[in-house]
Amino acid sequence: MNDHLDGADISAFLDGALALEDRARVDAHLSSCSACRAELESLRHLKLALSAAPRRTMPADLALSLERRLVAGAPWWRSAARPAIWVPAGAVAAAALAVGMWMRAAAPVDELPLAPLMAAHARSSAEGLTGEDNLVASAYSDQLAASYETPSDGDYQ
């Protein structure tokens, strides 16, 4: 085989962290590839050597020093005054402002008024619920039409 296994696949195979189908694929490749088998044995040896390494405890003064630093922390104003925070925030604000100005300039000049559209929708909904022969529905439609009369073109400008 010309293709070799990824080091992550070999490591996961060694740890037993592969799914059944992936484990079978890696196992089949390892049976035919001496280079990947050598890497597996190298990782196995490294894992055994690291597990045999002596364990050391952290000195108490180092643990206390780290705890003091974590508990005390830095004042809020020091972290807020760094340019690493304000430069990206300023860039995002400038981009949002530019997009807002562009969208306002790109808005159509003669937008449709909302009131006549709402009246037409209400009229259509009311007429759809009742038959045309029902006098109450036609009276309702007439009332809606009268309350939302279409203004002249001069009223929208």
Res 44: pLDDT: 93
Domain ranges of the chain: 7-52, 114-150
pLDDT at 1 over 50: no
Q: What does the pLDDT look like over 83-115, one tens digit per residue? A: 777 788 888 899 999 998 888 776 665 666 777
Nearest to 17 by CA among 26, 29, 5, 4: 26
Sign of CA dihedral 136, 142, 143, 145: positive
pLDDT digits (tens, 9 = 90+) for 33-66: 999 999 999 999 999 988 888 888 888 898 888 8
Q: 13: closest CA among 27, 32, 34?
A: 27
The pTM assigned to this predicted structure is 0.37
Average pLDDT, the chain: 78
